Structure 1
Amino acid sequence: MADHTADRSTARARTVGTPPPGAVPADAPPQRAVSSDASPREGLSRRTLLASAGAGGLVLGAAGGAAGYAAAPARATPLTSLGAEQVMFHGKHQPGITTPMQARGHLVAFDLAAGAGRREAAALLRRWSGTARRLMAGEPAGDGDTDVARDAGPSSLTLTFGFGHSFFGRTGLEKRRPVALDPLPAFSSDQLDTARSNGDLWVQIGANDALVAFHALRAIQKDAGGAARVRWQMNGFNRSPGATAHPMTARNLMGQVDGTRNPKPADADFDRRVFVPESGASDPAWMAGGSYAVVRRIRMLLDDWERLSLKEQEDVIGRRKSDGAPLTGGSETTEMDLEKTDAEGNPVVPVDAHARISRPDQNGGAAMLRRPFSYHDGFDGDGVPDAGLLFICWQADPLRGFVTVQRKLDRGDALSPFIRHEASGLFAVPGGAADGGYVGQALLEG
């Protein structure tokens, strides 16, 4: 759990304009949902048809449901701002990487079925991409849609697709497998369950509505058909947008502000750290604009953690629990003074504090974009919570990003006694799909 956070100032698609009170005229032009990575798109959101049978209402929505209104006898009812937000599927990068953290998430890995190869994988990615485009636009998944999210808008839904190390052997594409996808090294804190690790294919789903997120998960699983089967699946959550008086860095289940020093898209070196460059990289050309995702299920030993005093917890992290400021003073964004000592000459920020060890300037500049979800999978027979972090980090090179930092943490992080790494995966996530294309097309058809 490195000292970073997702930048909530990342641009997101929003509804443009507000309709007047009352019914929306039938000839009103559709609004637009815009994205920094894609051209504006217009269309009618079928999933926002709110009128019941026989009401005869007509809904006009922005691109795929960025806004929608049901014509009713009395007045039109707009979607809430939460449901109206739309992220574009097509673009230079896949969605779900720089998209602001969502309230709900599902992670699922698939293995290709016996006998399925490159052709079947290409057909599957084509189906998945089509379903993702429709769902992210607030439309039904396709024929046989379950109607789980019928009344909802897009709710910032994103679907992100990646390939695991084993995918390339199963599809005869070993020569096109990136060197950066070599298996992660073992770490002393690992207690990994192989059944819940890795996989041929990986899908990340995020949304600000639980039903919208589940609808996408179910649609993707059904789309797999006989081509692939679920290997493992995990569910996560974050604080809902608007739950705090102003945007804040997220808190984890330990109650700590988690992720203060995350790289931000406005940083001059952000793209270099997070995304594979278009040219001149050691990665294959099909990975241009892509990124590498490290996924770790990190269980938090909350009973042990909660026995610590507030001061002990803050010394473990190196930051104040109340506001995330460094123990050396200031606010959350104040630079930590690693040389400052107390009256007895001891470092104010302990030498094994998590925030000190994980700092990029303490790891040769290594940085990764963290975009996690918390999880809680119930209690065991002794009442111990099975809870923690679905850690997801993005980087252009996992060896220089996650591996560098985790090796340092592995050698003496004060947080280590209170966490346990129980599952792991590394996935190559290609760039975004071109309009009319599908994710991974350059790999599977190249």
Structure 2
Amino acid sequence: MAKKKRTATPSSAGKTANTGARTTTSTSTTATAPAGVPAGRTGRPADEPPRREPGPDGSRATGRPSRRRIIAAAGTAGATGLALGATGGALTRAAVSGTTPTALTTVGSTEAMFHGKHQAGITTPLQSRGHLIAFDLAPGAGRKEAAALLRRWSGLAAALMAGEPVPGADTGVALDAGPSSLTLTFGFGRTFFDRTGLAARRPAGLDPLPVFSSDQLDARRSNGDLWVQIGANDALVAFHALRAVRQAAGGAARVRWQMDGFNRSPGATARPLTARNLMGQVDGTNNPQPSDPDFDRRIFVPAGGEHGWLANGSYAVVRRIRMLLDSWEQLPLAKQEGVIGRRKSDGAPLTGGSETTPLGLEKLDTDGRPVIPANAHARISAPEQNQGAAMLRRPFSYHDGSLPDGSPDAGLLFVCWQADPLRGFVPVQRKLDRGDALSEFVRHEASALFAVPGGAAEGEYVGQRLLES
């Protein structure tokens, strides 16, 4: 049967959170797969086609079997699919570089790599569907059970991200889909270290976030021992991974909370654009650029630190931010733009230029007032206003129906990445807490902080250097 070719998810440098950074991928292999990793993942059977080595961006193009192999297909259909897959990578790569729109036919063919220097889902191009889920270890479960769970989850992630069925008992939800840029990212909360007897190895970056005066946090939807971020460009592929993760938790961990989000689909616009949030604002401007010389220093934990298990990892701050859309939408356009400090049409600063034009913070209008208001969100959160504090924002929007008063329960699942939250998220949020004009239209309802270890090499599972050292 003819096989459809998959094309690697691009990770080229971009301007926003929905453009990816280049990552270095480990090419080391081992002859024996760890428990929970499907046979053949760490070695190649004699009859399997040669595997293409990872490119410098940590992605790969591969013709390996996927879920499609178990779907009967005519030879002509397979040939057509092969042609689409062969061209899809070029179209997708061009899309993130800002030259050519992403063709919808490429959406299913893109693949992110599980093994690598960093976990996928941090600099991976922003996907159209996301699930954030936190777990607490079950009573009586400790370090041994946690290690077995991460081993199972890593095996699942490696298979699913390659577009393969769940080993053993696949639900069939995604049988006819390609990888669709699926990523699974795993992190540890502060309480995980106490419950596994590893408190001495807990990094200072997991110290509790300070209390902010504008917070209205629901403890039931905050924190957690373990965190999994799932993203994909197909809702069924994302749901399939979500079900697999929950089922693989077995008796070792229980769901603490789950949040489901979405973004614009690749190919939905005539040209690649920065994502918009539910307020209609361009969201992701001024993200650190992978091409910046200090990008890795700001986003990833360096090797050689006190906690070597976290090398090449990052910290994720997760905030559920409800938007008061009924009030926001009553504001005239000019008022909305004044609250943000940017034009709604294209994200450019009110001082002119394009989205990427630096803010003219010193520019005054004819009445001597700042063109970008003193309490504008863009001004207060700008790195130059916060001693260079920077974080990589990679959010999802959410809509969970209506509240009792009829207003929409909708907003932003804010996820930001940084090498140190005390130098990234915290100083910026403190400034916003004291006088951001946007605060009148949002409510911070849940909060969590997780340490996300670096990527797993071939033959490893995520977190192995913490749990087995």
Give the TM-score normalised by the residue count of structure 1.
0.88
Alignment partner of 1:36 is 2:56:
yes
Matched with 1:436 is 459
Contact 1:165 1:181 in 2 (8 A): yes
Matched with 2:157 is 132
Deviations 1:330-358 (CA, angstroms, capped at 9, x unpaired): 11111111111111111110000000000
Distance, in Å, in 2 between the alignment partners of 1:11 and 1:245 is 25
Alignment partner of 1:229 is 2:254:
yes
Matched with 1:168 is 193
Alignment partner of 1:205 is 2:230:
yes
Deviations 1:264-289 (CA, angstroms, capped at 9, x unpaired): 1111100000000112xx54111000
Alignment partner of 1:220 is 2:220:
no
Contact 2:23 2:117 in 1 (8 A): no
Distance, in Å, in 1 between the alignment partners of 2:218 and 2:155 is 33
Alignment partner of 1:350 is 2:373:
yes
SS at match of 1:361: helix
Distance, in Å, in 2 between the alignment partners of 1:121 and 1:354 is 41
Contact 2:319 2:444 in 1 (8 A): yes
CA 1:246–1:53 in structure 2 vs 1: closer, same or farther (change >3 Å)? closer
Contact 2:71 2:175 in 1 (8 A): no
Alignment partner of 1:49 is 2:69:
yes
Superposition pairs of residues 22-421 of structure 1, within 5 angstroms = 32=52, 34-36=54-56, 38=58, 44-49=64-69, 51-52=71-72, 80-279=105-304, 282-421=305-444
Distance, in Å, in 1 between the alignment partners of 2:23 and 2:195 is 37
| Among 17, 40, 65, the residue aligned to 1:6 | 17
Give 1:378's aligned amino acid: G
Distance, in Å, in 2 between the alignment partners of 1:313 and 1:39 is 40
Give 2:339's aligned amino acid: V
Distance, in Å, in 1 between the alignment partners of 2:80 and 2:225 is 40
Matched with 1:20 is none
Distance, in Å, in 2 between the alignment partners of 1:58 and 1:314 is 50
Deviations 1:44-84 (CA, angstroms, capped at 9, x unpaired): 3230126439999989999xx9999xxxxxxxxxx931100
CA 1:37–1:120 in structure 2 vs 1: closer, same or farther (change >3 Å)? farther
How many residue pairs get aligned? The number is 417
Matched with 1:22 is none
CA 1:111–1:284 in structure 2 vs 1: closer, same or farther (change >3 Å)? same
CA 1:436–1:268 in structure 2 vs 1: closer, same or farther (change >3 Å)? same
Contact 1:30 1:60 in 2 (8 A): no
Matched with 1:425 is 448
Q: CA offset at residue 9 of structure 1? A: 5.6
Q: CA offset at residue 403 of structure 1? A: 0.2
Q: CA offset at residue 41 of structure 1? A: 7.8
Contact 1:109 1:232 in 2 (8 A): yes
Give 2:17's aligned amino acid: A
Distance, in Å, in 2 between the alignment partners of 1:440 and 1:46 is 27
Distance, in Å, in 1 between the alignment partners of 2:432 and 2:424 is 13
Q: CA offset at residue 11 of structure 1? A: 5.5
Deviations 1:227-253 (CA, angstroms, capped at 9, x unpaired): 001000010000001111111111000
Q: CA offset at residue 31 of structure 1? A: 7.8
Q: CA offset at residue 226 of structure 1? A: 0.4
CA 1:142–1:56 in structure 2 vs 1: closer, same or farther (change >3 Å)? farther
CA 1:57–1:312 in structure 2 vs 1: closer, same or farther (change >3 Å)? closer
Give 1:5's aligned amino acid: T
State percent identity of aligned pairs. 72
Q: CA offset at residue 5 of structure 1? A: 3.5
Distance, in Å, in 2 between the alignment partners of 1:220 and 1:403 is 31
CA 1:303–1:224 in structure 2 vs 1: closer, same or farther (change >3 Å)? same
CA 1:291–1:12 in structure 2 vs 1: closer, same or farther (change >3 Å)? closer
- For structure 1, which segment, 82-91 or 53-62, has the greater mean C-alpha deviation from structure 2 after superposition? 53-62
Give 1:46's aligned amino acid: S
Matched with 1:21 is none
Distance, in Å, in 1 between the alignment partners of 2:197 and 2:87 is 44
Contact 1:48 1:59 in 2 (8 A): no
Distance, in Å, in 2 between the alignment partners of 1:66 and 1:372 is 30
Q: Which has the higher helix share?
A: 2
Distance, in Å, in 2 between the alignment partners of 1:319 and 1:38 is 34
Distance, in Å, in 1 between the alignment partners of 2:147 and 2:81 is 32
Distance, in Å, in 2 between the alignment partners of 1:44 and 1:259 is 35
Distance, in Å, in 1 between the alignment partners of 2:79 and 2:117 is 31
CA 1:115–1:66 in structure 2 vs 1: closer, same or farther (change >3 Å)? farther
CA 1:41–1:253 in structure 2 vs 1: closer, same or farther (change >3 Å)? closer
Contact 2:66 2:178 in 1 (8 A): no
SS at match of 1:416: helix
Distance, in Å, in 1 between the alignment partners of 2:79 and 2:247 is 28
Distance, in Å, in 1 between the alignment partners of 2:226 and 2:375 is 37
CA 1:275–1:10 in structure 2 vs 1: closer, same or farther (change >3 Å)? closer
Distance, in Å, in 1 between the alignment partners of 2:79 and 2:190 is 45
Distance, in Å, in 1 between the alignment partners of 2:338 and 2:294 is 31
CA 1:437–1:246 in structure 2 vs 1: closer, same or farther (change >3 Å)? same
Distance, in Å, in 2 between the alignment partners of 1:36 and 1:81 is 21
